[in-house]
Structure 1
């Protein structure tokens, strides 16, 4: 299965990637999202269909979308501008237009690129008119400032051409009939960024699949057994009682545990817990026991610590902001529920099910187990989604020698 990467950039950038390198990416599928100005990039986040990673065309759109990206459960990267892009662009201008660097106005991410290029190339006429935006992001950045910067220098006769790394500035300079060029993104840099997004998506999936153990210490109360089994279901794990001990262990994976901590109000469960990650079940259980010992020392009747395979301890939970996903009262979600012909409650559960997984594909049985509804009810929901184009069947699996193969599904509507 190909790795899906959401590519967020300007129209020119997307077209450049699609025509120059996309054909060489046999194991990667790029899903384009186009904006007019960098500030608009954040609007795409809530419209992203299921993907394995998100790659922005540069630092500008990334910084304007940084807050919205906090809700994403996949790696988020941006194409980093460097000296290679600057030198390649200046060489192009010198070779094709005969304009020396000191007659070119430049906007870029970091002023240090100019110093490095000058030092490496020993330029006789280094760039003199440069404006960066590293320190302005995101609050004091304004497109007009950069357009005016290039325009005024050209009108004053100090420059013969503008070199901009901001596509919206390029469009405005063209309208003003000012000679200009977009900063060149070398093909090698683009390929490297896409391959990095690919690698991080694979690493994220492996990390989410790391073995995890949850060691729980609870006081006996009515309904305790059902409560523990409900916790095991929420963590997608298996519950075991520790003999001669008032503790229980749930075996699961890291992705499911982290999703449980992010989406659950821990105070509701009144217990002490230690979560451990490891390369083996024994290592995860040992780390969970150590983490639980820290929870027992904490001055709280309900808290948890996490100890990972690198012996890094975090906690206590829940003294961190938690995201509540049980309500579905936002206008966007209600509108989406109407479009998909699902109840808001079922849509919310479906989205949470999808976000909690390290893989994009799933079966009706897996969804049925998560939703705690019958297989027939689950298949009705999936049929409704497939019929209106909100899900599709991408394959089938035959896990038993007899019976019909089970369909494998993938969602196609925005879930972030």
Structure 2
């Protein structure tokens, strides 16, 4: 099955992307062309059938960022890096015959310009840099006026901009300007990165889920209520599980002797992770049977791994006299009990995230969602990385802030692989 990459860009970018992937049978470009970058706020809603979102410019990504972060969409932005600065300087000097002096430039991060200037020994040149990545809100007018003022005061002769809208406004004012072009290499790397992210996400969907369900203390029920009554309970339970299997695209098998097996992939996994706090299966069984049951789910990359983990989860149910459901994931973490909402004082947690951990509003709200979704279970930096869809280093920076603010503490370790260092597990201190 082809990977569908939604590409947001102007016609020129879309064409170059299509030229690059031509002949690659595993990739399909779904174009979302705009005339103004702000249109991406609405365009992104139309790309729901795509596997990954690729933005061919800084501005369209900035406009869509709020939705990307809120919906945790897999997104890639074409890099505006040192190589792009270097090739832009080359074109300016050789194609436009403009000296690399008395110019102003706007970029996402000024460090890229500083590194190129240092590499080319151009520290003595009058090159003014506006870094809009440092702005809390991207203001096109502010960037335009920065260049305009420098030109009108005689400090520069030329503008090199990375934003189409800024280029057009400067041209309208009669200010000599040129827009940076994205190098072919940067486009190719962005496509390959998008492809890698989509492939990784698809591999997650191949994760196998195994489950075991059984009536608690079935032997006692046989003695107390008799064979016929006990078999009627098993029949009711089987019907409930078949309905659950239909809802989650999973298979239900009877093992005999009061045990049922469930096997599935993405459908059942999504259902479980969306119902940590209110597991409907347990509620329906309780209403229909009126007796406690034990449910253990195991996750794994192979059927054997998933089944072994499900057995471990089922054993955990022995510690409870009531109905219970636990999960053991591929990292041997035990999550649960499901269907029992653990209280989280979100108001207190939000205050601690803002004032003690120094997280911004967006990260604070997302972290609260993360904690609630996992039903306040212990977590690792890897879990945060997967949830936010950020790099492990970025997740570790968030962990460091949470530890420094005494919002979380270390409660243990996990070792998902035979080799390698164990990962630390954390929980809230509140």
Q: Is the shorter-chain TM-score for this pair beyond 0.5, marking a shared fold? A: yes
Q: Which has the higher contact order (CA 8 A, sep 6+)?
A: 1
Q: Which residue of 1 aligns with 2:349?
A: none
Distance 1:45 1:90 in 2: 33
Deviation at 1:144, TM superposition (A): 1.0
- Residues 83 and 313 (structure 1), Cα distance of their counterparts in 2 relative to 1, 3 Å cut: farther
Tell me the CA shift for residue 15 of structure 1. 4.4
Q: Which protein is richer in helix relative to its size?
A: 2
Given candidates 247, 250, 257, the residue that maps to 1:237 is 250
Structure 1 unaligned spans of 5+: 323-416
- Residues 149-168 of structure 1: CA deviation (Å, up to 9, x unaligned): 11111122211221122222
Larger radius of gyration: 2
Matching residue within 272, 278, 292 for 1:261: 272
TM-score, length of structure 1 as denominator length? 0.65
- The alpha-carbon deviation at position 187 of structure 1 amounts to 0.4
Aligned with residue 168 of structure 1, among 122, 144, 165:
165
Contact 2:209 2:269 in 1 (8 A): no
1:266 and 1:303 in contact (8 A); partners too = no
Residue 152 of structure 2 is matched in structure 1 by 155
Name the structure 1 match of 2:89: 90
Count of aligned residue pairs for this structure pair: 316
Residues 112 and 43 (structure 1 numbering): CA distance in 2 closer, same or farther, change over 3 Å?
same
- Of the structure 1 ranges 28-37 and 87-96, higher mean CA displacement relative to structure 2 is found in 28-37
State the partner residue of 1:377.
Answer: none
User: For residue 50 of structure 2, what is the aligned residue in structure 1?
Assistant: 51
Question: Which residue in 2 is equivalent to 1:14?
Answer: 14
Please list every run of 5 or more consecutive structure 2 residues that lacks an aligned counterpart in the other structure. Answer: 217-232, 284-293, 342-368, 374-430
- Which residue is equivalent to 1:38? 37
* Gap change, CA 1:30 and 1:125, over 3 Å in 2: farther
> How far is 1:210 from its partner?
2.5
Separation in 2, partners of 1:298, 1:93: 72
Output the aligned Cα RMSD. Answer: 3.5
Asked if structure 2 preserves the Cα contact closer than 8 Å seen for 1:305 and 1:314, the reply is yes
Within 2, Cα distance between the matches of 1:173 and 1:231?
61
Tell me, yes or no, if the aligned pair for 2:82 and 2:112 is still in contact at 8 Å.
yes
Note if contact 1:164-1:181 (Cα within 8 Å) is conserved in structure 2.
yes
| CA–CA separation in structure 1 for the residues paired with 2:122 and 2:32 | 39
CA contact (8 A) 2:279 2:338 kept: no
Q: CA deviation at 1:127?
A: 5.9
| CA positional deviation for 1:59 | 4.3
> Matched residues in 1 for 2:198 and 2:6: separation?
12
Residue equivalent to 1:120? 119
